[in-house]
Amino acid sequence: MSEAIRLLDAEGIEALSMRSLGTRLGAGATSLYRHVANKDELIELVVDEIYGEMGVPGADDPAGWRAGVAACAHSLRAMVLRHPWIASVLGQVGLAYLGPNLIRQSERMLALFQAAGFDPGEADQAMNTLIAYVIGMTTSEAAYLSMVARSGQSEQAWAESLRPAAEQAVRDHPRLRDGYAARQSEDPQQIREENFSYGVERILDGLDTRLGPTTPAAR
């Protein structure tokens, strides 16, 4: 799986085929079919392998559930941004959720939510809500960063090159104009990180209310 990941990271999902991977491994495509049925199965195995990179804290301290869940969200985002091609296949890997790494990580995340006081059913819903937010945000973020990379510029330089067009576009829209003016001198990477963190914290705020004021973990 490691060679497939290196190929995907270097050349993207379009470059992956049984033939191209076989070439990198010094073997024919036919020999790979002894181990995986087809390209779709290969992608599912690679996705599960990458999920093994995600960090999920232990659920030893119920009062620390928010910090633990936030750490999961940030680790999942970092995982996707390290392997931006993965964003394009997450909706296509029908059986990846049965992979050993994803099952193990899901079990550990559910432990965090259940330690906080969520019953098993709502813990699963809470976990899925958080993951949906992270995947939605990072899919757009990964696409944006891929576009910046293709430009051959740094993110800061690319943003500055767009400034005249952006200022012209929002000129007649005062709310957008004021918001853009307030942040145009900031580091775009910092803005992305702050925007992501804001969403995570608001999701956790909402989940916190579900626990009720008398729950120790919610205090």
Interval 27-49: pLDDT, tens: 655 556 556 657 777 888 888 89
pLDDT cut 90: percent of the chain above it: 51
CA–CA gap between residue 80 and residue 141 (Å, rounded): 9
Model pTM greater than 0.75? yes
DSSP letter assigned to residue 20 = H
CA–CA gap between residue 101 and residue 113 (Å, rounded): 19
Quote the pLDDT of residue 134.
94
Picking from 152, 219, 145, the residue whose alpha carbon sits closest to that of residue 188 is: 145
Q: Write out the two tokens for 213.
A: 């004021």
CA–CA gap between residue 2 and residue 54 (Å, rounded): 16
> How close are the terminal C-alpha atoms of the chain, in Å?
44
pLDDT cut 70: percent of the chain above it: 85
What is the arithmetic mean of pLDDT over 201-216? 84
Phi-psi region of 12 (alpha: psi -120 to 50; beta: other; left: phi over 0): left
- Residue 79 neighbours by CB under 8 Å, 6+ apart: 50, 51, 53, 54, 86
Quote the pLDDT of residue 215.
45
The pLDDT tens digits of the residues spanning 80-135 come to 999 988 887 876 655 556 789 999 999 999 999 999 999 999 999 999 999 999 99
- Look up the CATH number of domain 54-152+186-218: 1.10.357.10
| 10 pLDDT more than 90 | no
Quote the pLDDT of residue 196.
97
CB 63 within 8 A of CB 117: no
R_g of the chain computed on alpha carbons: 21
- DSSP letters, 113-165, are HHHHT--HHHHHHHHHHHHHHHHHHHHHHHHHHHHHHHHTS-HHHHHHHHHHH
What are the residue boundaries of the structural domains of the chain, listed by start? 54-152+186-218
- Residue 8 neighbours by CB under 8 Å, 6+ apart: 15, 16, 46, 83, 85, 86
Confidence of residue 12 (pLDDT cuts 50, 70, 90): confident
